Amino acid sequence: MTTTHMDTFIRDRLPSPDAQPEFLFDLPELQYPERLNAAVELIDRGDPDALAVLNDAGAWTYGRMTDLSDRIARLLVEEEGLIPGNRVFLRGPNNAMLFAAWLGVLKAGGVVVATMPLLRPGEIATILERAQISHAIVDSRFLADFEASGGVGSLLTYDGDSGTGELERRLETVTPGFTSVDTHRDDVALVAFTSGTTGNPKGCVHYHRDILASADSFARSILKPQPGDRWTCSAPMAFTFGLGMILIFPWRFGGTAVTIETPGPKPLLEAIARHKVTTLATAPTAYKAILGMVGESDISSLRTCVSAGEHLPAATWHAWHEATGIRIVDGIGATEMMHIFISASGDDIRPGATGKAVPGYVATVLDEENRPMASGTGRLAIKGPTGCRYFDDPRQANYVVGAWNVTGDTYRKDEDGYFWYLARSDDMIISSGYNIAAPEVENALYSHAAVQECAVIGAPCPERGQKVKAFVVLAPGYAPDAGTVALLQDHVKTEIAPYKYPREIAFVDALPKTATGKLQRFALRDR
């Protein structure tokens, strides 16, 4: 390939071709031209008068976002010295200015390194050093931790969507228009750092065509979006689930991104009602939390609900369907894979199952010898148009096995091609010779009204090797006492095989999570 990148720091540190997975581009929708800039495809091709971004601060059309991102690109190149391939650090909550910056970086030929607003100075410093960041665009409200991390050479700051920041003032004097860099489809577009469920984030490299492939496989085939759809997501754009659901997918299909800065179920419901959201994406725990508030909110505009980030318990799926009439589209994705690769929608949904391989992907389970099985239980393995490319990280060899992307999840594949989640591969509890999947116990606990959130691990036990231990956040009205322990233990024994019940239950105020809301089981084990 002929790269346009003058700064090849990331490309020079990619795993060798034989250490990368096999990539598949079988669908006609995945046949992209050699020269491709994802930002141009997403925003410049849209109807300039159509609504691109909507939030409580205002509304931005496709034409306005094109102009804004052009000016940012020109400012970066002509005044801030950005050359193609430089890494640009983005920090801030989901809003129009952050999205314009993301577009502007890609138009300028830069590489986006977006980060969670919740990251602290030490975590930021690690990313700045690892990715050798040269430029940064930071929401001024989140500047303190960035400055405490050491900072970078070029810094631009903006004031959310108020229009009053330093970046906004400088853009007023920038000449409109910009000829976007003619990037190759396989030029590096972004480095997404994993959310750290295993304690040590990895840098996942994605190309310009990877950005579009996630839309042209999962979103196009499973969600069947329409122009004018209004999308919102609780996840930050720095999390690739959020990036897809609130930026890439809306704009790929002529829709509107409805951005929300305030976290929590109540602001999410308020935004759905106020801005007539049609597509909602959030985590299973959020759907469970929202359930108690649905009757107080107008969610009549909702047509599609998507869940990812953690396994969706069947009890939550049924409760949501009963309360709203909407079937949640479950899915599993990974930062390494860009977005969701197993899912199902409509009549194809089987509650409790994650779904089937998304068109464009193939999926299997591997036996103990890493051989694909037609059906059965094993490690989940995927191939498709996206795949794992860690930069400068020996853990590439753990994720890519025999040209497959191996996610670290244990699944059961049935004879119909549906995949049923059992556990993270390291979450299987072996107690007295029995294999017990932690999520199965969690599902049983979640089916009791006393449980607001829970997590199950294997704890050391001299008699059994491991015992099932549950950490439970109680719903209001329940006391953290021995009576509630017995209540939950008896309930689990009625839901699943009695030997799987939690022999120890610890009540906690909150579960340890990453900035994206994913459970950190390793932190529970460390306790």
- The per-type count for the chain, helices as H runs and strands as E runs, is 16, 26
Any idea which residue has 């340890």 for tokens?
A: 512
Structure tokens at 36: 């491709």
Percentage of residues in the chain having pLDDT higher than 70: 98
Domain 432-526 grouped into CATH 3.40.50.300: no
The structure's pTM equals 0.85
| CA-based R_g, the chain, Å | 23
> What mean pLDDT is predicted for residues 230-253?
95
Q: Report how far residue 27's alpha carbon sits from residue 206's, in angstroms, rounded to the nearest whole number.
A: 19
pLDDT at residue 197, rounded to an integer: 40
pLDDT of residue 119: 79
What does the alpha-carbon distance between residue 7 and residue 381 come to, in Å, rounded to a whole number?
33
pLDDT given at position 198: 41
Angle of helix 62-74 versus helix 96-107 axis, rounded to 10:
60
Q: Which amino acid is at 468?
A: V
What pLDDT is attached to residue 117?
85
Predicted local distance difference test score (pLDDT) of residue 162: 95
**Given this model, what pLDDT does residue 263 score?**
78
Cα–chain center distance at 467? 32
Length of the chain equals: 527
Alpha-carbon separation of residue 233 from 219, 241, 243, 257, 409 (angstroms): 14, 9, 9, 9, 24
The percentage of the chain sitting over the pLDDT mark of 90, rounded to a whole number, equals: 77
330, two tokens: 């479950």
Section 56-75 average pLDDT: 98
Cα angle 468, 471, 477; round to 5:
130
Tell me the mean pLDDT in the region 470-486. 96
Q: Which two tokens stand for residue 296?
A: 């107080």
* Geometric angle at alpha carbon 62, from 61 and 67, rounded to 5°: 100
Residues of the chain with CATH 3.40.50.980: 37-182
135-170 burial, b for 16+ CB within 10 Å, e for fewer?
bbbbbbbbbebbeebebbebbbbbbbbebebebbeb
The arithmetic mean of pLDDT across residues 204-220, rounded, is 98
Per the CB < 8 A criterion, the answer to whether 274 and 280 are in contact is no
CATH 3.40.350.10 fits 37-182, yes or no: no
Half-sphere exposure of 342 (CA within 13 A, CB side): 27
| SS3 at position 45 | coil
Average pLDDT over residues 461-466: 77
Cβ-in-10-Å burial (0-12, 13-18, 19+) of 276 comes to middle
CA angle 91, 218, 101 (to 5 degrees): 20
Q: Which of 15-24, 64-73, 357-366, 435-444 comes out lowest in average pLDDT?
A: 435-444
pLDDT interval class at 434 (50, 70, 90)? low
Taking alpha carbons only, the member of 484, 419, 330, 512 closest to residue 492 is 484
pLDDT at 196: 47
Q: How does pLDDT run across 153-174, given as a tens digit for each residue?
A: 899 999 999 999 999 999 999 9
Collapsing DSSP to helix, strand or coil, 158 comes out as strand
Q: What is the C-alpha to C-alpha distance for residues 478 and 251, in angstroms, rounded to an integer?
A: 45
Model confidence at 476: pLDDT above 60: yes
What is the tens place of the pLDDT at every residue in 436-445? 878 889 988 9
Q: Give 515's pLDDT tier (boundaries 50, 70, 90).
A: low
What pLDDT, in 10s, does the model give residues 273-321?
Answer: 999 999 999 988 789 889 888 888 899 999 999 999 778 888 889 999 9
Task: Let me know if 321 is exposed, middle or buried by CB neighbors in 10 A (0-12, 13-18, 19+).
Answer: middle
Task: Write the CA distances from 45 to 40, 50, 66, 253, integer angstroms.
Answer: 7, 11, 9, 10
Average pLDDT of the chain, as a whole number: 93
Q: Which two tokens stand for residue 501?
A: 């019940």
pLDDT mean over 183-201: 79
Q: Could you say which DSSP state residue 301 is in?
A: T
Residues 6+ apart with CB under 8 A from 342: 331, 332, 354, 355, 356, 357, 358, 361, 363, 380, 382, 419
Per-residue confidence (pLDDT) for residue 433, from 0 to 100: 59
Order of strands, sheet of 111-115, starting from the edge strand that comes earlier in the sequence: 154-158, 135-139, 87-91, 111-115, 188-193, 203-207
Lowest mean pLDDT among 129-143, 378-392, 415-429: 415-429
